[in-house]
């Protein structure tokens, strides 16, 4: 393999070859940077690139590996170039949340997940594009530009972690971090044909993750295959005293969890997730995946999640309510954009009016209304009660089955601008993912194949709380029986 093709490697492939001395971390990082230079003007996955810092980290990784050969200590992420969604704080590197209100903001500290990646020897290439404050399903809500789907540059990559998903799909990194509040790791993974894992709420620290909706936000991973997802999750999972919602439970060995196949595994198929209006090719592909797992020895059962129909309105009451509180801190006084209005209140108004985009303003207004006097009980409190019912649905379903299979999204990637004037249609792109955030459970999207237009279909494997091991096991078994994850997008060969 030439240096120009090193960017196509998975994390585990690159780790093995780095350990064997076939190339250095500096050579690998240079190859990925070359790839970014070649294709990112078209894909537009990155908001900020830090090539000098990345090469310095790569040189340090090479030194650490040489020292590690003497004492036998070299982890699987040592020297691996990764991308980071621009809602995770990175010390000394701009962190904008895709918003003008944080343009130029440079955090004085790293998020816990960034600290753990650095401790593992990973190389940070830069920050990827996102819908503003992670509010969106297409990355069209970024204040800076829209990211393009590498499989068809006229299509969206999904959102809000669209930059991370597109970077992984286009070989502009070997893996990436994203965040998932209502499907923002899994949905873009499904549309871009990569693996996206949302851990259980509390499994991964949220310290340094700039909040959208604090009871729903969760950092996750985007990778080229399931084994890589296990490797990245292993690095970032675990209790963090800096995060009061972090679970103080043992982190299992996720690589070991990949083994064993699906013989005897109980796979649930939720009747409520195959609905009118979904793309027929998506339903057919997911049902074919269920049949394949049955052929591998899985026991397939139909399950019911009866309160699924309430998930969308519940989510769009709770998440905006939390956002209206979390985003109150952006006032033009402490950090970020400041637009002088002549007085304190007018400065608040001018700063927020100019700094926030239309989707963020929409959700702040929705949330403030739901929390206002006279409406709190009718909307927000009722939504929280319905959330409890949704979580109960999952609890009962996982008494009957080990995992649940469903589509990741109801359609494949739509054209850029196609849903821009119809917020409800945009929100419906997350209809199969947001219930898990309300329930606090875990799930993964992996490639299932293509529709007639050559666009990826995502298959979602859902698990119970702290059930990442069984989700990875089923996803890995399916992946090993197919080759969808090995396909590459049709970016022009001369750009490779």
Q: How far apart are CA 31 and CA 17, in angstroms?
A: 15
Which residue, among 385, 218, 410, 244, has the nearest Cα to 318 in the 3D structure? 385
The Cα-based distances of 272 to 112, 246, 414, 472 in angstroms read 37, 31, 23, 24
Computed over its alpha carbons, how large is the radius of gyration of the chain?
21
Element (H, E) at 16: helix 11-19
Q: What is the DSSP letter of 137?
A: S
Query: Given 138, 161, 164, 184, which residue is catalytic?
Result: 184
Phi then psi for residue 269, to 5 deg, are: -120, 110
**Neighbour-count burial of 64, counting CB atoms closer than 10 A to its CB (0-12 exposed, 13-18 middle, 19+ buried):** middle
Is-contact 232 11, C-beta < 8 A? yes
Q: How far apart are CA 316 and CA 427, in angstroms?
A: 9
Would you list the DSSP string of 359-422?
HHHHHHHHHHHHHSTTTIIIIIIHHHHHHHHHHHHHHHHHHH-SEEEEESSSSSPPBTTTTTT-
Judge whether 214 counts as a catalytic residue: no
Q: How far apart are CA 354 and CA 360, in angstroms?
A: 12
CA dihedral 428, 421, 445, 175 (to 10 degrees): -160
Q: How far apart are CA 252 and CA 321, in angstroms?
A: 34
Q: How far apart are CA 231 and CA 190, in angstroms?
A: 20
Q: Which residue has the tokens 């379903």?
A: 397
The Cα-based distances of 80 to 25, 59, 76, 311, 444 in angstroms read 7, 12, 8, 38, 22
Query: Given 7, 44, 74, 85, which residue is catalytic?
Result: 85
Judge whether 184 counts as a catalytic residue: yes
Query: Given 99, 138, 142, 160, which residue is catalytic?
Result: 160
Is-contact 336 103, C-beta < 8 A? yes
Burial 245-271 (b: 16+ CB within 10 A, else e): ebbeeebeebbebbeebbeebbbbbbe
Work out the angle at residue 459's Cα, subtended by the Cα atoms of residues 165 and 200, and round it to the nearest 5 degrees.
70
Judge whether 74 counts as a catalytic residue: no
Is-contact 224 483, C-beta < 8 A? no
Burial 77-113 (b: 16+ CB within 10 A, else e): bbbbbbbbbbbbbbeebbbbbbbbbbeebebeebbbb
Q: How far apart are CA 346 and CA 84, in angstroms?
A: 35
Catalytic positions are: 85, 160, 184
């Amino acid at each position: 393999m030439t240096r120009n093709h090193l960017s196509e490697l998975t994390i585990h492939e690159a780790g093995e070859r780095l350990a064997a001395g076939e190339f250095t971390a500096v050579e690998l990082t240079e190859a990925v940077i070359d790839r970014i230079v070649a294709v990112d003007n078209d894909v537009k996955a990155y908001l900020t690139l830090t090539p000098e810092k990345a090469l310095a980290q790569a040189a340090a990784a090479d030194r650490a590996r040489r020292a590690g050969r003497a004492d036998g200590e070299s982890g699987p992420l040592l020297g691996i170039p990764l991308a980071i969604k621009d809602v995770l704080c990175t010390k000394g590197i701009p962190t904008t949340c895709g918003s003008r209100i944080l343009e130029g903001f440079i955090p004085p500290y790293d998020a816990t997940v960034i600290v753990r990646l650095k401790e593992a020897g990973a190389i940070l290439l830069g920050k990827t594009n996102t819908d503003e404050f992670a509010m969106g399903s297409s990355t069209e809500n970024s204040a800076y530009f829209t990211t393009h789907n590498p499989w068809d540059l006229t299509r969206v990559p999904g959102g809000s972690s669209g930059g991370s998903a597109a970077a992984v799909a286009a070989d502009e990194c070997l893996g990436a971090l994203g965040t998932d509040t209502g499907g923002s790791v899994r949905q873009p993974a499904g549309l871009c044909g990569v693996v996206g894992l949302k851990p259980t709420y509390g499994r991964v620290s949220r310290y340094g993750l700039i909040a959208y909706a604090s009871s729903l936000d969760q950092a996750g991973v985007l990778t080229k295959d399931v084994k890589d997802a296990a490797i990245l999750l292993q690095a970032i999972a675990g209790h963090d005293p800096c995060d009061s919602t972090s679970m103080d439970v043992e982190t299992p060995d996720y690589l070991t969890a990949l083994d064993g196949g699906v013989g005897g595994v109980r796979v649930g198929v939720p009747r409520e997730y195959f609905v009118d209006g979904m793309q027929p090719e998506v339903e057919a592909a997911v049902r074919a995946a269920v049949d394949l797992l049955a052929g591998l020895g899985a026991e397939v059962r139909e399950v019911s999640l009866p309160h699924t129909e309430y998930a969308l309105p519940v989510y769009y009451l709770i998440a905006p309510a939390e956002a209206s509180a979390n985003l109150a801190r952006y006032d033009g006084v402490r950090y970020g954009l400041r637009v002088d209005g002549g007085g304190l209140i007018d400065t608040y108004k001018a700063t927020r009016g100019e700094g926030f985009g239309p989707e963020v303003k929409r959700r702040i207004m929705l949330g403030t209304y739901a929390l206002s006097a006279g409406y709190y009980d009718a909307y927000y409190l009722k939504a929280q009660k319905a959330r409890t019912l949704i979580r109960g649905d999952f609890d009962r379903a996982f008494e009957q089955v080990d995992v649940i299979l469903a589509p990741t999204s109801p359609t494949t990637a739509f054209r850029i601008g196609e849903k821009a004037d119809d917020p409800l249609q945009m929100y419906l792109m997350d209809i199969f993912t947001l219930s898990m955030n309300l329930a606090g459970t875990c799930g993964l999207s992996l490639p299932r194949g293509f529709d007639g237009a050559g666009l990826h279909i995502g298959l979602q494997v859902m698990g119970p709380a702290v059930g990442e091991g069984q989700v990875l096991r089923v996803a890995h078994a399916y992946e090993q029986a197919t080759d969808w994850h090995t396909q590459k997008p049709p970016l022009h060969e001369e750009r490779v």
